[in-house]
């Protein structure tokens, strides 16, 4: 049964790489904020699978709610599109 959870953790790590690639590549900063929310989400799942529930609670509450909202406010105050 633990082999199944290990395969799930491997799949989640690959998905986290996809999200981080989108964050680096894109020119639209709002899209970068959304993709970093995905990275936070998958990181919380990985902490959960590695049996650290307190770290996962902190990561969930900070990463899902607070960081994205603050970054959206920052994008609002500055500008949305990065120029070449």
Find the binding residues for other proteins in span 58-77 (CB under 8 A): 60-61, 64-66, 68-69, 72-73, 75-76
Out of 5, 27, 50, 82, point to the residue binding other proteins (CB under 8 A): 5
Nearest CA to 42 out of 5, 17, 69 is that of: 17
CB 36 within 8 A of CB 23: yes
Residue 6 engages other proteins in binding (rule: CB under 8 A): no
CB 72 within 8 A of CB 33: yes
Give the contact letters, 7-26, x = binds to other proteins (CB under 8 A), - = no: -x--xx--x--xx-xx----
């Amino acid at each position: 049964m633990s082999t199944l959870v290990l395969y799930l953790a491997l799949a989640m790590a690959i998905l986290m790489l996809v999200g981080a690639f989108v964050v680096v590549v894109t020119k639209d900063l709002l899209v970068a904020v959304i993709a970093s929310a995905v990275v936070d989400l998958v990181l919380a799942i990985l902490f959960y699978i590695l049996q650290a529930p307190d770290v996962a609670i902190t990561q969930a509450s900070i990463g899902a709610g607070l960081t994205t909202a603050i970054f959206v406010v920052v994008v609002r105050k500055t500008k949305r599109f990065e120029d070449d």
